[in-house]
Amino acid sequence: MPPITLATLKPYIIMVLIVGIGPLGVGYLVLLERKLMADMQARLGPMRVGPQGLLQPIADAVKLLLKEDVIPGMVDKWVFWLAPCVTVTTALAAFSLVPFSSEFVVTDVNIGVLAILALSSVGVLGIILGGWAANSHYPLLGSLRCTAQMVSYEVVMGFAVVAVLLMAGSLSMVEIVKAQAESHRWFLFGAFPFGLIAFFMYYVAAMAETNRSPFDLPEAESELVAGFMTEYSGFRWALYFLAEYCNIIIVCSIAVTLFLGGWLRPFPSVKLLGWLDYAAPVGSSLLVGGLSLYLVKRQPRAFDQIVLAAIGLAFVAVAGLFAWPAFNELFRGVFWFIAKIMVLVYSFMWVRFTFPRYRYDQLMRLGWRLMIPLGIVNVIAIGIVLVLRG
Amino acid sequence: MLDQFFFYIFAAVILLGGLLTITRRSAVHSAIFLIATLLGIAGLYLHLQAEFLAGVQVILYVGGIMVLFLFVIMLVNLDQAARQRQFNRQWWLALLAAAAVCGEALYGLYRGRGAFSFPGAMPGNVPPNTQAVGNALYQNYMLPFEVASIMLLVAMVGAVVMAKKRL
């Protein structure tokens, strides 16, 4: 047994942080999505709980936890119980392989990408089994759709990932980011323009894998009520929801790691842009903090004013911390990583509010007739480019 | 010590999963236990420090093949078939054959018992073996690998031709 030190405890601490903060983060992701949707549809969105509706996720969480645990009579009991657990466990476990920065990574295994894809493919089983166990028509249809969709788009995603692996020469998430630092470019622009094609394919496949609109057929609410989770309610439903949003963060962080340079800042090899490491985190935190403090006076209730002022001051404090070199050195990677994830998540939501849902045969045609052949050609093309450039 | 512990855990998962796979009535339950077995096998691969094989095992068998199994089980209504009278007239013959094979295996194990020991963990970090697998498949055993791929392709095309009446 090695002695217990901070270094040996670090992975556990990070994992506990992720599992602890993850659900809260997911709650705020949902709030962000509702707010964005409201904004794009010229509404206000949730405004009642807390200042500008900022405490809505906490109210939602309490509501879901206190709800009665309903198990319909004709369901297959233990599969019904097992399915959401499988989905949420694999989704949270996958975070252990995500390198938030060169320091903040729970474990760096040398099959990192494969391991994350494997975990997510086990998570899909939870959705399929949940739909089957409910023993009702709509969930079954939802999980049938989910199955076919996953199997098709996993292939697309595989080809997109292989394209990056060719450029990086490693399966480890940390090594892939390091390879991008060494080649002085994000793999998005590697083997130009084939890296871009791979990213596009990954992006579409990721949307299909996470059941996001325009590929949200497994839970198409206008046709299937709620798809595979129709019979779920209360806490079990919350588990599915948690897993879904965790998976969105996971696929985005794979995309960031594979294509967008992971924890590296934009133009990592240009020394002149070093000030970005300070300007970006300090500036964005100050912006958010300042905006919160500016809005304090507009709040109608005293409680809301206090909460919003506290939030504003907290962001100003974070800005101060990032201006401190030692802290900045340690956390700038995490900042860039999370900033890139947020950009991707925002684009996911944007797509959701913009495009109508695909019909099922259109989805399959897109996958098998367009994306998979494109993927094969793309991998071969990248191989040729890499050989030609030596 | 820890090695043996994990080996026995995985072995127990595999054996229990296998047993439950063939004894459950519901086809979906069988499939779930088969998934447990396959995950256990992936664990054994990891235990043997073949991490690439473990990852591929999970992605292909659990994420691909078992998902398709479940798909088929859900498409066809197996519940009705299960409710019909089950018969197997040759069970004693099957029992005899199974006993013979079992005895043979046990005898083999008994004769070779000297070879059973846990290899000690390799010193230091084992180099990643993904490249080794790639080299073996695409350089040393290129021809057999390609032949196997073509056979699979032929089987796939054949299945499509047989299933579709009009092409």
What are the residue boundaries of the structural domains of chain A, listed by start?
A: 25-66, 73-264+324-389
- The pLDDT score that the predictor gives to residue B147 is 94
- The pLDDT score that the predictor gives to residue B120 is 61
The stretches in chain A having pLDDT less than 70 are: 1-3
Helix, strand, coil share of chain B (percent; to 5): 80, 0, 20
| Contact across the interface for A147 and B67, Cβ inside 8 Å | yes
Distance from chain centroid for Cα B90? 26
Q: How far is A316 from chain B (nearest CA, A)?
A: 44
Residue from A75, A86, A110 whose CB has the most chain B CBs within 10 Å, to mutate: A110
DSSP one-letter code for B86: P
- The pLDDT score that the predictor gives to residue B79 is 66
- The pLDDT score that the predictor gives to residue B126 is 65
Nearest to A144 by CA among B163, B160, B28, B58: B28
- Cβ burial of A223 (10 Å; 0-12, 13-18, 19+) is middle
Terminal Cα-to-Cα distance of chain A (whole angstroms): 45
Averaged pLDDT score across all residues of chain B: 84
| Contact across the interface for B128 and A111, Cβ inside 8 Å | yes
Output the tens digit of pLDDT for each of chain B's 167 residues.
677 888 889 999 999 999 998 888 778 888 889 999 999 999 988 888 888 888 888 988 988 888 888 888 887 766 666 667 767 778 889 999 999 999 999 999 898 887 777 666 666 666 677 888 888 888 889 999 999 999 999 999 999 898 887 76
Tokens of A205: 């496949």
- The pLDDT score that the predictor gives to residue A377 is 92
Report the predicted TM-score, pTM, of the whole model to 2 decimal places. Answer: 0.85
- The pLDDT score that the predictor gives to residue B124 is 62
ipTM: 0.81
- The pLDDT score that the predictor gives to residue A355 is 87
| Contact across the interface for A76 and B62, Cβ inside 8 Å | no
Where do the DSSP E strands lie in B16-133? none
The CA–CA distances, whole Å, from B34 to A95, A238, B62 equal 26, 28, 9
- The pLDDT score that the predictor gives to residue B34 is 92
CA-based nearest residue in chain A for residue B69: A147
The H-assigned helical ranges of A41-99 are 56-66, 77-93
Contact call for residues A250 and A18 (beta carbons, < 8 A): no
Q: Is B34 on the interface with A (CB under 8 A)?
A: no
| Contact across the interface for B59 and A117, Cβ inside 8 Å | yes
